[in-house]
Structure formats: structure tokens, C-alpha cells
């Protein structure tokens, strides 16, 4: 079944209500790798609910109130076995409370036909709001690369541009050693895909071992930028966009190179041991510190 452009673009998603607790926020932070230094107050504030500054990591919004793996539904027309998470963008309008109830509203922005044998791009946006107040907390936008589904007769553009990194040496470099069990922890935040847990499934997909979730690597890069450019203050990170370039294996060290230009931060992340860029074209927007 091929993609039907009009039908897919008009696809309706029911609002998703998600209640979460401080335990869920702590579990997300542990999955990203915080707690490696149990004496670091900058990490403990995201891990201990009795801390005076207890808060969520700003990237946590990307796992909240989503519609699930909807491309697997037969009427989508998408060959779900061949999809990749190509890009992730996040606009942060207000800090996500450490616990509460949120509503996710998802829509398909557009589907780009790259042509026969070249795949398709599906642009999806989700707005996450606080149920109690109605406040818009974050807008999560993703690009799904449907590798096997080009040539359905849809529009060939416009394609969303990606951020260009500065042509100079990075201003900062931050390294994070991921845990060997990182994927097994992170999957408890809402992505149970066996590719990240079952060695046989990973082998059938061509990997030597289960790989780390792309959004886990995304969160690791977010932590690097947060502690390097925001003094660890989650309220200062307002935007976080990137392109996924290559998979990561749990236990690998992720090195994030950072360029600072006013309130704009450019970044990319690599696995030095394999000399491989895994996250590219990164753009973060940083707010000034609260004068109070």
C-alpha cells in the first residue's frame, strides 16, 4: 500500500493525555546518564525530588504525550520497517513541571516525495500543554525519513532547511560517557522498540548490538549544552534542534562540540572512538539568566 498524500496529510490524531510523576522525570534523567557524579548538585537537582531546585530536563518534552508508533498502522501507507528518525526540533515555551498531566496534540504538517527509490519525508508537529492551566509548554517537531516510500506523486518540496555550523574551531567541547545499560533504562520513558533491547532484533537490522535511542542521544547533547552554556538552568534553554546522522551504541562516549554566538549555540556530537558524527547541524537558543 503506497502513501496517499491527501489521506495521510489529513490524518487525525486523538489528543493524548499523559499523567507523570516525579519518578518519571527522574527516570528520564537517569536514562540520559545523569547521576554519574552523585556529588554534583547540578545533576542531583534533576534526580532527587526533595532538592530545593528539583526540575525536569528541558528535553524531556520530546517523550511526552506522543501518539505512539503510528506509522506501523496499515492505513498509513508507510513501510514502517524502513523508517528513520531524521531530525528533531523542540521549541520550549515554559519549563515542564516535574510532575503533572499534559495534553499532546499531533498533526502532520506535510509529506515530501523525494522520488522513486529516494524515500519520503514526513513532517510531524506535536504541541504539549499543561492540562491544569492550558499553558503551552513545548512544540516538538520531527522529520521521519520513510526510506522505502518515495514516488507516490506528492510534492517535492519545500524541504525544511538545516542549520549550518560555523566555519571555525568549536568554542567548547563536552564529553559524556553513556552507560552500557543506557538503552534499557531509557526505554522505560516510553519507547519499547526491541531494537534497543533485544540482541537478535538488533542483529536482524544489521547492528552488532542493540543501539541507543536517537532521542536518548538527543537528550545527552541537550545535557551537554545545558551544563556548558546555561549554567545548568533548565529555564534558559528555549530551542533545541538537530539532525540524526548515525546510530550510537550504549557505553560509547559522546563528544559535543559547541559554538557560541550570542544567544545562539551551534553544536554537533560525535563518537570519538569511531570518528563518527552521530548528531549534526545542531542549533540551540539560550535565554539570558534571570536577573533575580
Distance of CA 51 to the CA centre of its chain: 26
Q: Is a pLDDT exceeding 70 seen at residue 155?
A: yes
DSSP string, 69-126: SGGGSGGG---GGGEEEEEEEEEESSPPPSSEEEEEEEEEEEEEE--TTT-EEEEEEE
**Residue 237 and residue 91 in contact, taking contact as beta carbons nearer than 8 Å:** no
Query: For helices 214-229 and 22-32, what crossing angle results, to 10°?
Result: 90
What is the average per-residue pLDDT within 123-151? 97
Q: Are 244 and 279 in contact (CB under 8 A)?
A: yes
Answer left, alpha or beta for residue 189, where phi above 0 means left and psi between -120 and 50 means alpha.
alpha
In the structure grid, which three cell numbers stand for residue 33, read together? Answer: 546518564
Per-residue pLDDT, 159? 95
Nearest partner of 142 among 108, 192, 96, judged by Cα: 108
Q: How far is the CA of 211 from the CAs of 167, 198, 250, in angstroms?
A: 31, 10, 6
CATH, domain range 1-160? 3.10.129.10
Count of CB atoms situated within 10 Å of the CB of 234: 20
Is residue 292 over pLDDT 80? Answer: no
User: Which comes out higher in pLDDT, residue 259 or 290?
Assistant: 259
Q: Which of 229, 226, 274 is nearest to 254 (CA)?
A: 274
Is residue 148 predicted with pLDDT exceeding 70? yes
Q: How many residues does the chain have?
A: 292
Q: Are 16 and 67 in contact (CB under 8 A)?
A: yes
Fold for domain 161-292? Thiol Ester Dehydrase; Chain A (3.10.129)
Please tell me what DSSP assigns to residue 154.
-
Which residue numbers are catalytic?
A: 191, 196
d(CA 288, CA 187) in angstroms, rounded, equals 33
Res. 290: pLDDT tops 90: no
Cell of 124: 510531524
In the prediction, which pLDDT does 187 show? Answer: 95
- Average per-residue pLDDT for the chain: 96
C-alpha cell at 149: 516510500
User: For 71-84, what is the mean pLDDT?
Assistant: 91
Q: Is there a shared CATH topology between the 1-160 domain and the 161-292 domain?
A: yes
pLDDT per residue over 245-261, tens digit each? 999 999 999 999 999 99
Task: Show me where the domains of the chain are located.
Answer: 1-160, 161-292
96 to 2, 18, 129, 218, 241: CA distances (angstroms): 38, 13, 9, 17, 18
With left for phi above 0 and alpha for psi between -120 and 50, is residue 281 left, alpha or beta? left
* Closest by Cα among 246, 243, 240 to 212: 246
Amino acid at each position: 500500500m503506497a502513501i496517499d498524500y491527501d489521506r495521510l496529510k489529513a490524518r487525525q490524531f486523538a489528543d493524548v493525555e499523559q499523567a507523570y510523576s516525579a519518578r518519571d522525570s527522574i527516570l528520564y534523567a537517569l536514562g540520559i546518564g545523569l547521576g554519574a557524579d552523585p556529588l554534583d548538585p547540578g545533576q542531583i537537582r534533576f534526580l532527587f525530588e526533595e532538592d530545593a531546585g528539583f526540575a525536569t530536563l528541558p528535553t524531556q518534552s520530546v517523550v511526552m504525550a506522543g501518539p505512539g508508533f503510528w506509522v506501523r498502522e496499515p492505513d498509513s501507507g508507510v513501510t514502517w520497517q524502513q523508517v528513520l528518525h531524521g531530525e528533531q526540533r523542540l521549541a520550549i515555551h515554559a519549563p515542564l513541571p516535574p510532575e503533572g498531566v499534559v495534553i499532546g496534540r499531533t498533526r502532520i504538517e506535510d509529506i515530501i516525495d523525494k522520488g522513486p527509490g529516494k524515500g519520503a519525508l514526513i513532517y510531524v508537529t506535536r504541541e504539549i500543554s499543561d492540562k491544569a492551566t492550558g499553558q503551552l509548554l513545548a512544540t516538538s517537531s520531527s522529520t521521519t525519513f520513510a526510506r522505502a516510500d518515495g514516488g507516490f506523486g506528492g510534492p517535492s518540496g519545500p524541504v525544511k532547511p538545516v542549520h549550518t555550523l560555523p566555519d571555525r574551531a568549536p568554542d567548547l567541547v563536552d564529553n559524556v560517557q553513556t552507560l552500557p545499560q543506557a538503552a534499557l533504562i531509557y526505554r522505560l520513558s516510553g519507547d519499547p522498540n526491541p531494537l534497543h533491547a533485544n540482541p537478535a532484533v538488533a542483529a536482524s537490522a544489521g547492528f552488532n548490538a542493540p543501539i541507543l535511542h536517537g532521542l536518548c542521544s538527543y537528550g545527552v547533547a541537550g545535557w551537554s549544552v545545558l551544563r556548558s552554556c546555561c549554567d545548568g538552568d533548565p529555564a534558559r534553554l528555549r530551542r533545541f534542534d538537530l539532525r540524526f546522522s548515525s546510530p550510537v551504541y550504549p557505553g560509547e562516549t559522546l563528544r559535543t562540540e559547541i559554538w557560541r554566538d550570542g544567544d545562539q549555540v551551534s553544536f554537533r556530537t560525535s563518537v570519538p572512538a569511531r570518528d563518527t558524527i552521530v548528531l549534526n547541524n545542531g542549533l540551540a537558543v539560550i535565554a539570558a539568566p534571570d536577573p533575580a
